[in-house]
Amino acid sequence: MNKKQEHLEQTMETIHQKDNTPQIIIDEEAEKKEILSRYRKLLKSIKRKITPQERQNIRKAFDLAVKAHANVRRKSGEPYIYHPIAVAQICAEEMGLGDTSIICALLHDTVEDTDITLQDIEKLFGKKIASIINGLTKISTVLDKNQSIQAENFRKVLLTMAEDIRVILIKIADRLHNMRTLEHMSREQQIKIASETLFLYAPLAHRLGLNSIKTELEDLGLKYTNPEAYHEIAEKLKETEEERKKYIQKFIQPVKKALEEKKFKFKIFGRPKSIYSIYNKMIKKHVSFEEIYDLFAIRIVIDSEPDNEKSDCWEVYSIVTDIYHPFPDRLRDWISTPKSNGYESLHTTVMGPEGKWVEVQIRTTRMDELAEKGYAAHWKYKEASHERENKLEEWLKKVREALENPDPDALEFIDDFKLNLFSDEIYVFTPKGDMKTLPVNATALDFAFEVHTKVGEHAIGAKVNQKLVPLSHVLQSGDQVEILTSAKQKPNEDWLKFVVTARAKSKIKTALKEQRKKVAEEGKEILKKKLQKVDLPYESEIINEMVSFFKLPNVMELYYRVAVENIDLPDLKSFKKYKESKRKKTNIQENEKIETLVTRTRGKGDLLVIGDKMEHLDYKLSPCCNPIPGDDVFGFITTEEGIKIHRVNCPNAIHLLSHYAYRVVKAKWINEHLISFLAGIKVKGIDKLGLVNELTKVISNEHQVNMRSIRFDTEDGLFEGDITVYVHDTKHLNRLIKNLKKVEGVTSVYRMDGTENNQ
């Protein structure tokens, strides 16, 4: 169903309802007033000065959008026009974008959802606006709520973004408003859209310097992918708010006094860490909320003249560290070397009152606005942000470069892309002192390709800080690197094992392809002769079947392997036998495509009830997260193993939901009181005599819990243990965890994922 039909159905369903349901009465006059009120609020929120002509164009776009979306409603029942106005509001108020972006935001759904064409837009508003709307329409066709982000679609999004950055800024604003109103969608849609947001939109917002938007997208993403964890952290933040405020005031007082004495104009305040970042820290470090010390950061924002910004920030740093002792290894200077998304700030961690470590961020008003609004705010500080624009252009150049030579394995391409363009960075230098930005874990060979393709292809070694190192040497920030080359050197397969940048991988693969092409041409002729010997014709159907049979990526690889005798006569005979036996098989399921399998599995109900007697549906509990009754779960349809049940907060869930949403089926548990499920528990604490005995006593006292295995390690007075037990559901497991935490000496107890849980 296309979006136009969907809007029509939603409209009919909302306004008329089905069967005998009474018609919903809509106060059209009140809605018209509300629409105009929202439009006036939008105009007031525009931060740039706009000319009467620009204002007139915005009004023209607004009138067109109102007319185009008339009588269409959102899932919430509100008029659809509220959405484009809200997107335009985000562009203006939260991103600081100008009239072009606001017009495009108002019209962003018109070409896709209504009878308005791109030609109409061009006629009314010109080529630039038509081009941006076209980009937004292209993205919508691959990323609307009925499809998942498949790898090819991801490429299209990036291509569109590389053409005009405003396309992706408006799309991020669109996604932010959708996330803010996600409660009106079904649970299945919530999980899918939130997974996509965490997978693509939050990293993009981060990469474009939209810090506050990135934070909100992450928090909302967590709210719908793992509501239990989200609400638990939100509640605990609320509970500890008063205590935190008192501590922040205590910390700020002496700093404030010292800054006032030095005649600084400043703002100083505490900012709580985002729920998502707290959750990530709890998961990565396996600690409880109570064990996280940096729940907030102190931010000092100073008014400073452009020429004095750096010296003023360092003076404030000096004042803070005179009052509180700094943590020696926790100074981050992003003022001398801004991040490639333009972020500038000084970060340090100091020992505050009551022996608590506190992060302090020091920046100017300009830096703060650019940090929150990213590239979108650069117009206000044109001179100061000239370097920032160059960095954006440099990054977009890398995007284009990565897209020119996409990896044939599209999913690998996405992973490389995310690693290179969303990851943390290091700064390294050429022998002449030029600075190059590379992702963390980049090697000397990555640096060589960053300098020039030819330097990379002929590299034989490197000197890092005057010391000779291999090409696989991992670089650190501040390294000075000289590449040693030889005309005889050629790229080889091993290089792909240690390079990390998309540029290096792409160039190496291109060079290897050229080398292989020559060998493959010889292999093609050899294969023709060998097929004659096993009495098989040389034709495209046979060749394609062979590629599939030998699990090869393409035909050229087949020719190459024949040329190097990796595939020989005995292998060709095996292929012939397989081909003959395949013909005899009558089992339709062997040839059933995944789409057919999905349709057959989903049937009419679209809901898998786990534990129900549905013999015709083969499902298994996935070992990567070991779901148990009570967990929020979904079914994932596989070709070989039937349906696999995953927890919604499984480590692999975001990947599955964002790449293969069409293979996901809703699932819920029914009560199966007599069935036990295996779950793993990790216990940590301070070692003492008889501790294991106490823990096993707690487990054996817990009603109907059987222990399968227990393993403990102790070192320097600390212990760590893995226990696997059989439980009925999450309530049962949580009760056991709660009781284990009460044992003296135990510092943390948590449920393990399946990856840790294989005894």
- What DSSP string runs through 134-186? HHHHHHHHHHSTTS---HHHHHHHHHHHHH-HHHHHHHHHHHHHHHHTGGGS-
Quickly tell me which residue has 């600690």 as its tokens.
287
Contact residues for 575 (Cβ-Cβ < 8 A; gap 6+): 545, 546, 549, 550
pLDDT confidence of residue 17: 40
Q: How far, in Å, CA of 407 to CA of 251, rounded? A: 51
Cβ contact 619:643 at 8 Å: yes
Quickly tell me which residue has 């709307």 as its tokens.
133
Cβ-count burial of 666 within 10 angstroms (0-12 exposed, 13-18 middle, 19+ buried)?
middle
- What DSSP string runs through 194-258? HHHIIIIIHHHHHHTT-HHHHHHHHHHHHHHHSHHHHHHHHHHHHHTHHHHHHHHHHHHHHHHHH
**Does the structure show a pLDDT above 70 at 414?**
no
Residue 462 lies in a domain: no
Q: How far, in Å, CA of 126 to CA of 300, rounded? A: 44
CA atoms within 13 A on the CB side of 258: 17
DSSP conformation class of 489: -
Cβ contact 471:496 at 8 Å: no
SS3 115: coil
Which whole number is the average pLDDT over 296-324? 92
Q: How far, in Å, CA of 278 to CA of 664, rounded? A: 29
Cβ-count burial of 318 within 10 angstroms (0-12 exposed, 13-18 middle, 19+ buried)?
exposed
Residue 100 lies in a domain: yes
What percent of the chain is helix, strand and coil (3-state, nearest 5)? 55, 15, 30
Residue 5 confidence class, pLDDT cut points 50, 70, 90 = very low
Specify the DSSP element, H or E, that contains 399.
helix 386-404
Structure tokens at 694: 């106490």
Residue 479 lies in a domain: no
Specify the DSSP element, H or E, that contains 631.
none
Domain's final residue, options 368, 384, 400: 384
pLDDT confidence of residue 674: 47
Cβ-count burial of 590 within 10 angstroms (0-12 exposed, 13-18 middle, 19+ buried)?
exposed
Which whole number is the average pLDDT over 433-453? 87
pLDDT for 704-732, tens place per residue? 677 778 888 887 778 888 888 887 778 88
Judge if 77 and 168 occupy the same domain.
yes
Strands 459-464 and 467-469: antiparallel
Residue 712 lies in a domain: yes
Please name the amino acid found at residue 196.
E
Judge if 321 and 260 occupy the same domain.
yes
Q: How far, in Å, CA of 260 to CA of 281, rounded? A: 36
pLDDT confidence of residue 586: 39
Judge if 50 and 97 occupy the same domain.
yes
Judge if 638 and 705 occupy the same domain.
no
Which whole number is the average pLDDT over 279-306? 86
Verdict on whether the full-model pTM lies above 0.75? no
φ, ψ dihedrals at 538, nearest 5°: -90, 95
Judge if 751 and 637 occupy the same domain.
no
Q: What is the extent of the structural domain holding 267? A: 235-384
Looking at residue 682, which CATH number applies to its domain? 3.30.70.260
Structure tokens at 656: 């599955």
> Among candidates 376, 386, 384, 382, which has minimal Cα distance to 47?
376
Domain's final residue, options 669, 687, 702: 669
Q: How far, in Å, CA of 210 to CA of 657, rounded? A: 25
SS3 360: strand
Judge if 91 and 208 occupy the same domain.
yes
pLDDT for 640-697, tens place per residue? 677 888 888 887 777 777 777 777 777 767 654 446 677 888 998 888 777 888 888 8
Residue 468 lies in a domain: no
More confident residue, 456 or 9: 456
Which whole number is the average pLDDT over 464-486? 89
Number of domains in the chain: 5
Which of 192-201, 221-230, 282-291: highest mean pLDDT? 221-230
Structure tokens at 408: 């044939």
Q: How many CB atoms lie within 10 A of CB 220?
A: 24
Specify the DSSP element, H or E, that contains 117.
none
**Does the structure show a pLDDT above 50 at 444?**
yes
Strands 619-621 and 643-647: parallel
SS3 637: strand
Cα 664-666-668 angle, rounded to 5 deg: 140
Judge if 247 and 327 occupy the same domain.
yes
Looking at residue 111, which CATH number applies to its domain? 1.10.3210.10
Structure tokens at 307: 């020429």
More confident residue, 3 or 648: 648
Length of the chain: 759
Q: How far, in Å, CA of 34 to CA of 66, rounded? A: 12
DSSP conformation class of 47: -
Q: How far, in Å, CA of 450 to CA of 316, rounded? A: 37
Judge if 110 and 148 occupy the same domain.
yes
Judge if 56 and 141 occupy the same domain.
yes
> Among candidates 234, 240, 238, 212, which has minimal Cα distance to 279?
234
**Could you tell me where the DSSP H helices lie in 262-308?**
275-285
Q: How far, in Å, CA of 401 to CA of 34, rounded? A: 47
Cβ contact 651:624 at 8 Å: yes
Q: How far, in Å, CA of 49 to CA of 569, rounded? A: 76
Residue 105 confidence class, pLDDT cut points 50, 70, 90 = very high
Residue 13 confidence class, pLDDT cut points 50, 70, 90 = very low
Q: How far, in Å, CA of 160 to CA of 142, rounded? A: 12
Q: What percent of the chain has pLDDT over 70?
A: 78
Judge if 120 and 146 occupy the same domain.
yes
pLDDT confidence of residue 288: 83
Q: How far, in Å, CA of 740 to CA of 692, rounded? A: 11
How close are the terminal C-alpha atoms of the chain, in Å?
Answer: 47
Specify the DSSP element, H or E, that contains 559.
helix 555-563
Which of 37-46, 513-522, 566-575: highest mean pLDDT? 37-46
Cβ-count burial of 386 within 10 angstroms (0-12 exposed, 13-18 middle, 19+ buried)?
exposed
Residue 336 lies in a domain: yes
**Does the structure show a pLDDT above 80 at 152?**
no
Looking at residue 282, which CATH number applies to its domain? 3.30.460.10
Rg (CA), the chain: 30
Residue 313 lies in a domain: yes
Residue 556 lies in a domain: yes
pLDDT confidence of residue 89: 93
DSSP conformation class of 289: G
Domain's final residue, options 322, 349, 384: 384
Q: How many CB atoms lie within 10 A of CB 568?
A: 12
SS3 46: coil
Residue 298 confidence class, pLDDT cut points 50, 70, 90 = very high
**Does the structure show a pLDDT above 90 at 287?**
no
Structure tokens at 167: 């396309």
> Residue-wise over 504-541: b if at least 16 C-beta within 10 A, else e?
bbbbbbebbeeebeeebeebbeebeebbeeeebeeeee
Cβ contact 554:409 at 8 Å: no
- Residues classed as catalytic: 112-113
Judge if 368 and 221 occupy the same domain.
no
Judge if 630 and 553 occupy the same domain.
no
More confident residue, 36 or 673: 36
**Could you tell me where the DSSP H helices lie in 407-554?**
410-422, 444-451, 453-457, 495-498, 502-533, 540-549
φ, ψ dihedrals at 110, nearest 5°: -65, -45
Cβ contact 332:346 at 8 Å: yes
Category of 332 on φ-ψ map: left (φ > 0), alpha (ψ -120 to 50) or beta: beta
User: What interhelical angle do 99-107 and 127-143 show, nearest 10?
Assistant: 50
More confident residue, 673 or 512: 512
**Does the structure show a pLDDT above 70 at 394?**
no
Q: How far, in Å, CA of 83 to CA of 694, rounded? A: 58
Q: Calculate the dihedral angle through the C-alpha atoms of 253, 254, 259, 261, rounding to the nearest 10 degrees.
A: 110
Q: How far, in Å, CA of 753 to CA of 747, rounded? A: 19
- Among 29-33, 243-247, 621-625, the range scoring the smallest mean pLDDT is 621-625
pLDDT confidence of residue 403: 57
Report the mean per-residue pLDDT for the chain. 79
**Does the structure show a pLDDT above 70 at 555?**
yes
Strand order in the sheet with 607-610: 607-610, 664-669, 633-637, 643-647, 619-621
- Among 11-20, 129-138, 214-223, 440-449, the range scoring the smallest mean pLDDT is 11-20
